[in-house]
Structure 1
Amino acid sequence: DRNEEIIIFPASFVKSENGTGIVMSVPAHAPFDYQALEDIKKSSNDQNLVSIARSISPVSIIQTDGYGEIPAKEVTERFQIENQNNPKLEEATKELYAKEFYGGKLKQNTGRFAQKTVAEAKEEVKKWILQSNNADILFELNDGPIHCRCGSECVVKLLNNQWFLDYSNKKWKDDTHYWINEMKILPEEIRGEFNYVVDWLRERACARQHGLGTKLPWDKDWIVESLSDSVIYMAYYILAKYVNGKQLVAENLGDEFFDYVFLGEGDSKKISSSSKISHDILENIKNEFQYFYPVNARHSGRDLVPNHLTFFVFNHIAIFPKKYWPEEIVVNGSVLMEGKKMSKSMGNIIPLRDAIRTHGADPIRLAILISAELLQDADFNLESVRGIKNKLENILNECSKYKPAQSDNQEQEDRWLQSRLQQLVLEITSAMEKMRLREALHDVLYEFDSDIQWYLKRVEAKNRKNVTCTLHEIFSARVSMLSPFAPHIAEEMWNKLGNSGIVSKSLWPSVLENKIDAAALQSENLLKSTLEDIKNILKVTKILPKQIIIYTSDSWKTKAYQKILSSVIKGEMNIGALIKSLIADKDTENVKKDPDFVKKTINDILSEPVESRESKAKSGLVEEKKILLEINSLVQKEFGVEVQVFGESDAQKYDPKNKAHTARPFKPAILIE
């Protein structure tokens, strides 16, 4: 209405690649705009421009408590800003914009919007200038710049007569939400991202006019866009061999052919005739589709969740009956090289054939798998590859030592190792079912080792010779579980063990409950933890041991431990109530002489895995003194000294420093001289 001329000034803070490259200047309220105007006034480059700038008076349109007529002037002066390149302008802008947006009101010079808050007026002003044809909408990429594969920067272009898929359709969205919440998605935490994408997804262009692709059936000037074209290509896999073998010709295939193969609708004899294929081939194609569908699992990268993978679910729901909807999606991260993104420009891409020739296929597979879980980026590290290659060679060498043999009388350490095998089979199987491949592989490669090392230490200390039977069983199960990860060397290991057939056809190990000996697990854990305590004491004190004395706790403490354990498992951990309950029982009343016992025991129990607590509660506690007598051979082997074991109340015990009374169940007291 005012019919005024618009002056255009230069400003270094304006980015030419953003929008039109021109921004409206509001020097009264925008610190950047005010400072840019002041910079021109101080310039000596163009006196005509300087003269125009000095003639301009900023127009104030917002009144905000705490600010005068020109808020931008006040805030830039307070921040001591001298030019538009000062980084403090960002902070000044945030402060002023926040206060004006939530507390500012428009002045009378804004006409119909006077006295409205900025928050209220923002959308109204936008709607008004659009309706009055004084503005238009400019589309731009939010996360730019984005470059295509050719290196050019991408821009937004509006195409006439563009074709869209209407992902905003409510019924379609509801069905997709339902199936995303019903189907299996791994890892589970990514399910929310799928639902989020379904919520915001609206109409999406499904066709383009350049490049390779399939012509849009109803508009031959357009090509089906690649992400829209690929969402059900799993169904095409069934047709591919017939197309490549020239048994199917695209021009002969109408809708009725696909309706019959994919939906089971129509007269097969008429369709085979119209499609110019034999009835037998048509039936084979339909039967193969019904055999392979639905898709059991779709594996892809996280970057495809906002597009391809969500379209994959949408389009299967739109086209196929429910029985053919996908069963599972597995989402993974990317692969890095030495912590950096792989790219040709960085020269850090290793051709796969070269890598296999140098390191072998199995070490490469394992190095990638063990570096990250599904959603994490896997870091391909050559040092890791070499380490894993050595590990696999060591396991192969170990396998050559153990052949099938008759079982001797089993001792405690044999029962313990077999129990640990069952626990590891359970843990690894659970991890595999959840696609936690890094966790499963770590257990196969390293958890077995720590158990085998302890077992060998035990049998060596006891001077046992024939343990081939037990170790053959352990290594056979280990190789069987290694096979899906490292199939090539696993076959060599299987052969070295003297097993028949090939490991890839062997059954995955089952958990045998009757081979889990809770008492053996408790006993060996007690020996391991006690030996570790002795090592730690010697490390801290730096003394050369002459004798080691171990004291086990009184029977009343064992009974109290069982009651405390039961309470902890139930979630009842009120120390006062527990002490009162123990004192009331004649078997455990001695707790009143050692009230700290309850708190320390609770902490002991809570530091253990839940499975260990439940095992102790189920099987009862072991005779610690009898078990710890076996530690003597271990200590003699490692430190060359004798170990004596006493009960806390033994009358003839050697206890010069009154250590015995500090013993607790599974926490024996130790004296080293």
Structure 2
Amino acid sequence: MVDFKAIEEKWQNKWLEEKVFEPQMDEKVPKFYITVAFPYLSGHLHVGHARTYTIPDVIARFKRMQGYNVLFPMAWHITGSPIVGIAERIKHRDPQTVYLYRDIYKVPEDILWSFEDPINIVKYFMKTARETFIRAGFSVDWSREFHTTSLFPPFSKFIEWQFLKLKEKGLVVKGTHYVRWDPIVGTPLGDHDLIEGEDVQILDYVLIKFILEENGEVAYLPAATLRPETVYGVTNMWLNPEATYVKAKIKNKDIEEVWIITKEAAYKLSFQDKEIEILEEFKGEKLIGKWVKNPVTEDEIIILPADFVDPDNATGVVMSVPAHAPFDHAALEDIKKNTNLLVKYDIDPRIVENITYVSLIKLEGYGEFPAVDESEKLSVKSQKDVEKLEQATKNIYKAEYHRGIFKIEPYKGKPVSEVKDLVAKDMTEKGIADRMYEFSDKNVISRFGNRAVVKIIHDQWFIDYGNPEWKAKAREALANMKILPESRRTQFEAILEWLDKKACVRKVGLGTPLPWDPEWVIESLSDSTIYMAYYTISRAINKYGIKGEQLVPEVFDYLFLEEKSEAREEELSEKTDIPKEFLREMKEEFEYWYPLDWRCSAKDLIPNHLTFFIFNHVAIFRKKHWPRGIAVNGFGTLEGAKMSKSKGNVLNFIDAIEENGADVVRLYIMSLAEHDSDFDWKRSEVGKLRKQIERFYELISEFAQYEEKDVELMDIDKWLLHRVNKAIKGTTEALEEFRTRTAVQWAFYSILNDLRWYMRRTEGRDDEAKRSTLRKLAGVWVRLMAPFTPHICEELWERLGGEGFVSLAEWPEPVEEWWNKTIELEEEYIKTLIEDIKEIVSVAKLENAKRAYIYTAEEWKWKVAQVVAEKKDFKAATSEVMKDPEMRKHGKGVSKLIQKLVKERAFDLKRIDEEKALRQAKDFIERETGLEIIINPEEDKGGKKKQAMPMKPAVYIE
């Protein structure tokens, strides 16, 4: 058994000792700069992360072998509130958190309790992450390592400079906006601050204030809706009789009103510019059967009971529009049948029976009441058919919004898409409507363990991604970038369009203080947009010990935005005490490495980080330094289930390496999925792959003993070298497009399969031609596999007598004289024939057969095939063939053959010498089939001879 661990340690140490992956500037060599989103260090990396980080390493290794000067740096992200939240939960001995860090992450107990201080969390996981990256064989330039936040002053000064630039350009603004908010800790929440709910939308509800008058007092029932235009078709109200409602005094600016809403709604609205004083608390049943006035139509409508009303969604007050809302239609029809329920609430059933639907929208393909038509189309029986009703709602809302024409004055004849906003605006101006922001899913949980709310914040700092001039530049950059896979471009374009102001600071958590307002801390998604530029200068900063206070904004201005100038360097040196030689070195490094060639990350970062990355680059840098490409990858599952730290269904990257070896993990992950498709980690499959890699190691070790010699090769030797050429070409093309799965298929499985076939074909041979062929294959194969399994390949390269490191060896290119398509076709011909013979024996149950007679196509059939390949048409081919008198002798056989070839579209048929191929492989075919092989005998056994077609010999077995 191969000791992978010992091999890995050996080469990891050598790489570090000799600084193999710390590139120096070299103007004579083309550069290749690739980065990947630095990991957030709240715990160990799992095998899902492994894919994100292995892809760019494979590409970096590939490009390095192609002769590029490759920079692949790494740093650590520790900005934000999650780490602080973890420290709090450890401090309070939260059982789930303690379980996660002690049992899943395997943090020693004496270290675990030190995690009450967030800085200790950071230190521990930075160390383990670095060890994991080294153990994984990542070809990282560690001389450029850094971490975020004010705990690392040089980078913190870079972030301060970035924000000063954005503010100078008017792109950081102060204002009022809604944000996700942790109500317990009191801080805005970015995507990375959430345990659950990253993808949950914030919905903008219009609250229409229906009027309840009792005993001379007025209270409002604010019905929450996403379709304010349907207020003209309200037939009744829905309240949940079992939910807790409150009568509350609502103060909003200069307006003071009494509202009736659920207790949960009152809590959430208190974060949205409303002072709320609870006057009374009661069950919803108290209001069932009462009447309220529609503030727009002034119709009196009844309040009906509905247990489907979620008190924790919006206000818990729902208006019913059965003509255009499938759920309302189903609920209304159900309640008409439930006389006992109506009697319970002292409602006359005739009132409900006489409710008349109001048609508001003309929609082609539907009648007066589209919700009714769609419900019938989907066979909705009752409100319990939730899935069907959700689909009906989706269908109707979409159709009405895009194609509907409004039928009610004063908006008659206008598209619904226009009317929606007009109605909302008009009602708001009249004071009969308000706003409420609500999550589309209630499960939005912060990393502090608290349920989030939507809060309106005043005097908050935002990055203004809605700025039209900025968007235009971002569009231009995106249009000129490569996006892999290309299918993701439309998503980038859509996000770029809807992106608006984004809160960029908070009051808690680790980070860099906002330079002009230091009580705020810059949040994690805002300090991680252009750090790829910092990597280019970080080597010099780390090497020369340049301090944060020396990195004044003018230094970054010069390094990143100005032309090279000795006078400017002298001026800055005098101001900062940074030697001008150091400034020159940093300036040259940036100019050499930028622009960034590729940015890599997982697809969940498209809506935020990756799009912000484009925006911030075009805002700050000159056009020549705008990024060139983004590559997106998918996620990973574990044994078919989504990985979840909280549920313990997670496999740490380092544990996978410990269990299987780094090269096995790397190759397995790279072989599972392409681009942004997801993969599933299966332990049983990993075990199988390990055996195949061990076989690869044994084969190359064996071939290393052979010598390459200039000897006459047999056709099967030439076939193997031709296939090696195809593997080189296929692997190279796939890696150029980040298609790692396809690359692995070519570099590993294709060669492995071809080699198995070759060894079968050459069984019993032990000559110089065979040994030389296998030695040639070994030299190529090791290099093709080096990006995927670098440790084993370094060891094998050494055994092969290769110079230096295989990591720096020349990437193989196809050898012109190895190409031989004809021999490949001959070999495919032999493979297919063997399979056909075995199938005939099996199907016809000829287990006792002794011999097989093989008939190849006659010369005239090949001539017909060549004409068909040229003409690609039955009539044209027939006309051409029949010009030849010799052909006409074969009568209807010619016509039938042309018809068959055209039907099978056999237009790419390449000619080989079938009989030669058969005679050369005769012994092998006999060995594989166990039959005596007789080729083209005079006797036409079973009348099979005439059935022979070009590349499809006829077979008779007896």
TM normalised by structure 2 equals 0.61
**Paired residue type of 1:631:** A
Give yes or no for contact 2:728–2:747 (8 Å, CA) kept in 1.
no
Q: Give CA-to-partner distance per residue, 1:222-255, whole Å, 9 cap, x none.
A: 3223212210011222454566678444344333
Number of matched pairs: 648
CA offset at residue 74 of structure 1? 12
Go from structure 1 to structure 2 and tell me whether the alpha carbon gap of 1:32 and 1:545 turns closer, same or farther (over 3 Å shift). Answer: closer
Give yes or no for contact 2:837–2:929 (8 Å, CA) kept in 1.
no
Structure-1 separation of matches of 2:374 and 2:914: 76
Match of 1:22 among 314, 317, 330: 317
**Which is richer in strand?**
2
Give yes or no for contact 1:491–1:503 (8 Å, CA) kept in 2.
yes
**Which is richer in helix?**
1
Give yes or no for contact 2:856–2:950 (8 Å, CA) kept in 1.
yes
Go from structure 1 to structure 2 and tell me whether the alpha carbon gap of 1:64 and 1:129 turns closer, same or farther (over 3 Å shift). Answer: closer
CA offset at residue 488 of structure 1? 1.0
Give yes or no for contact 1:247–1:277 (8 Å, CA) kept in 2.
no
CA offset at residue 9 of structure 1? 5.8
Q: Is 1:205–2:503 an aligned residue pair? A: yes
Q: Is 1:293–2:612 an aligned residue pair? A: no
**Paired residue type of 1:622:** I
Match of 1:601 among 895, 898, 901: 901
CA offset at residue 204 of structure 1? 2.7
Q: Give CA-to-partner distance per residue, 1:468-496, whole Å, 9 cap, x none.
A: 11111112211110111001111233344
Q: Give CA-to-partner distance per residue, 1:111-153, whole Å, 9 cap, x none.
A: 7568989787544432321221211222223355322223323
Give yes or no for contact 1:105–1:117 (8 Å, CA) kept in 2.
yes
**Paired residue type of 2:845:** K
Give yes or no for contact 1:41–1:54 (8 Å, CA) kept in 2.
no
Aligned positions of 1:20-169 closer than 5 A:
20-25=315-320, 30-31=328-329, 34=332, 42-43=340-341, 49-50=345-346, 58=355, 61-62=358-359, 85=384, 87=386, 112=410, 122-142=420-440, 145-169=443-467
**Paired residue type of 1:278:** P
In structure 1, the residue corresponding to 2:440 is in which secondary structure?
coil
Aligned partner of 1:428 in structure 2 is: 731
Q: Is 1:218–2:218 an aligned residue pair? A: no
In structure 1, the residue corresponding to 2:720 is in which secondary structure?
helix
Go from structure 1 to structure 2 and tell me whether the alpha carbon gap of 1:248 and 1:671 turns closer, same or farther (over 3 Å shift). Answer: same
Structure-2 separation of matches of 1:81 and 1:195: 38
Match of 1:580 among 879, 895, 900: 879
Q: Give CA-to-partner distance per residue, 1:382-415, whole Å, 9 cap, x none.
A: 1121111101111121223222242432111111
Aligned partner of 2:307 in structure 1 is: 12
Q: Give CA-to-partner distance per residue, 1:27-80, whole Å, 9 cap, x none.
A: 7873256358658963399x6x43599878757644799999999999999999
Structure-2 separation of matches of 1:99 and 1:230: 40
Q: Is 1:193–2:491 an aligned residue pair? A: yes
CA offset at residue 377 of structure 1? 1.2
Structure-2 separation of matches of 1:99 and 1:176: 32
Structure-2 separation of matches of 1:425 and 1:52: 82
Structure-1 separation of matches of 2:481 and 2:370: 56
Give yes or no for contact 1:64–1:104 (8 Å, CA) kept in 2.
yes
Aligned partner of 2:862 in structure 1 is: 558
Give yes or no for contact 2:427–2:433 (8 Å, CA) kept in 1.
yes
Match of 1:378 among 668, 679, 691: 679
**Paired residue type of 1:435:** F
Flag structure 2 segments of 5+ consecutive residues without an equivalent: 1-208, 214-220, 222-289, 291-302
Structure-1 separation of matches of 2:643 and 2:320: 43
In structure 1, the residue corresponding to 2:763 is in which secondary structure?
helix
Give yes or no for contact 1:40–1:50 (8 Å, CA) kept in 2.
no
**Paired residue type of 1:167:** Y
TM normalised by structure 1 equals 0.85
Match of 2:824 among 521, 533, 536: 521
Bigger relative CO (Cα 8 Å, ≥ 6 apart): 2
**Paired residue type of 2:861:** K
Structure-1 separation of matches of 2:368 and 2:809: 84
CA offset at residue 188 of structure 1? 2.2
Give yes or no for contact 1:527–1:628 (8 Å, CA) kept in 2.
yes
Match of 2:743 among 430, 435, 440: 440
Q: Give CA-to-partner distance per residue, 1:310-340, whole Å, 9 cap, x none.
A: 1111111111112211122111011221122
Go from structure 1 to structure 2 and tell me whether the alpha carbon gap of 1:521 and 1:245 turns closer, same or farther (over 3 Å shift). Answer: closer
Structure-2 separation of matches of 1:500 and 1:68: 79
Match of 2:697 among 390, 396, 399: 396
Go from structure 1 to structure 2 and tell me whether the alpha carbon gap of 1:463 and 1:365 turns closer, same or farther (over 3 Å shift). Answer: closer
Aligned partner of 1:549 in structure 2 is: 853
Q: Is 1:455–2:758 an aligned residue pair? A: yes
Match of 2:663 among 362, 386, 395: 362
Structure-2 separation of matches of 1:97 and 1:259: 51
Aligned partner of 1:534 in structure 2 is: 837
Give yes or no for contact 1:227–1:307 (8 Å, CA) kept in 2.
yes
Structure-2 separation of matches of 1:352 and 1:71: 53
Structure-2 separation of matches of 1:578 and 1:322: 57
Q: Give CA-to-partner distance per residue, 1:504-535, whole Å, 9 cap, x none.
A: 23211111222212332232222222222212
**Paired residue type of 2:922:** N
Give yes or no for contact 1:551–1:670 (8 Å, CA) kept in 2.
yes
Go from structure 1 to structure 2 and tell me whether the alpha carbon gap of 1:3 and 1:437 turns closer, same or farther (over 3 Å shift). Answer: closer
Match of 1:325 among 626, 635, 639: 626
Structure-1 separation of matches of 2:587 and 2:210: 72
In structure 2, the residue corresponding to 1:550 is in which secondary structure?
strand
**Paired residue type of 1:601:** L
* More moved, 441-450 vs 382-391: 441-450
Structure-2 separation of matches of 1:537 and 1:81: 55
* More moved, 286-295 vs 457-466: 457-466
Flag structure 1 segments of 5+ consecutive residues without an equivalent: 568-572, 647-651
Q: Give CA-to-partner distance per residue, 1:575-628, whole Å, 9 cap, x none.
A: 12211221123464456431221233345664x9x7xx5xx3xxxx33222221
CA RMSD of aligned residues (A): 3.8
Structure-2 separation of matches of 1:428 and 1:2: 67
Structure-2 separation of matches of 1:207 and 1:142: 24
Structure-1 separation of matches of 2:495 and 2:722: 46
Identity of aligned residues (%): 36
Aligned partner of 2:957 in structure 1 is: 672
Q: Is 1:343–2:343 an aligned residue pair? A: no
